[in-house]
Amino acid sequence: MENFSEWFHDILENADITDSRYPIKGMAVWRPYGFQIRRATLNIFRDLMDKEHDETLFPLLIPEAELAKEGIHVKGFEDEVYWVTHGGQTELNEKLAIRPTSETAMYPMFALWVRSHIDLPIKQYQVVNTFRYETKHTRPLIRVREITTFAEAHTVHSSAEEAAEQVETGIELYKKFFDGLGIAYLISKRPVWDKFPGAEYTMAFDTIMPDGKTLQIGTVHNLGQTFAHTFEITFENKEGNHE
């Protein structure tokens, strides 16, 4: 395809899917037909996820102190974060990050909820808006500043083996989802330099676009104990010891 960008924009416009003329770069409006497609797709996603995950909803804003706790993680996003600095005309005592992703919003709460092995595993997901200050060329639905359909699942386990098994479960869920939509994909383990910030490893799904380029369409991360240590998520095991 000679001009994928032009073709893609024509499809979105003529099919009444999105309108990218909103006066902020990288933020588009879902038009009625596009929103129906989005809703139907999310219904498929939720049907798969609800079999073993609980849907939840965490706040949009993250205190700067929480975001900064996991150094490697925040370094991966620090140039992309939008900040809230004022409430009306009053400067806030602490800046609030508009979530680029939700680890640092969710895991402080997990630390409050997990006390014993009977509280595990936790398996939750949410579908939310996230914001990232993309400085590269934006493209509707592909590279945007407001990700309007950010589906993320987070789990907590009592052992490394269970966590690794959950990664495989996540991969199978993605396969069922993309197979059901008729989307072809390639699965690969990302190299160290391209894994999720703070993760032990990342498994990713890519599809090939009409212009021959690949597009990442899904990821599953094994976060190990990095965030558990940072946010002090501990539990009492069956023997009465704390892990």
Token pair listed for 157 = 């386990």
Give percent of the chain with pLDDT exceeding 90.
85
Cβ neighbourhood burial of 84 (10 Å; 0-12, 13-18, 19+): middle
Q: Is residue 78 part of a domain?
A: yes
Q: What is the mean pLDDT of the segment spanning 135-155?
A: 94
Q: Is the pLDDT of residue 71 over 70?
A: yes
What stretches of the chain show up as alpha helix (H) in DSSP? 4-14, 32-49, 64-69, 71-77, 103-113, 160-181, 226-230
Residue 166: inside a domain? yes
Helix (H) or strand (E) holding 54: strand 54-55
First to last CA, the chain: 55
Whether residue 5 lies inside any domain: the answer is: no
The total of structural domains in the chain comes to 1
**pLDDT of 236 above 90:** yes
* pLDDT classification of 74: cutoffs 50, 70, 90: confident
Angle between helices 32-49 and 160-181 (to 10 degrees): 140
| pLDDT tier, 200 (very low <50, low <70, confident <90, very high otherwise) | very high
Domain that holds residue 103: 52-230
Q: At residue 215, does pLDDT exceed 70?
A: yes
237, part of any domain: no
Question: Looking at the domain assignment, is residue 84 inside a domain?
Answer: yes
- The CATH number of the domain holding residue 178 is 3.30.930.10
Can you give the pTM of this predicted structure?
Answer: 0.93
Is 215 a member of any domain? yes
Average the pLDDT over 51-57 and give the result.
Answer: 97
Residue 88 inside a domain? The answer is: yes
The tens digit of pLDDT for each residue in 98-142 reads 999 999 999 999 999 999 999 999 999 999 999 999 988 889 999
Query: How does the average pLDDT of the chain come out, rounded?
Result: 94
State residue 73's pLDDT score.
66
Q: Does the pLDDT of residue 76 top 70, yes or no?
A: yes
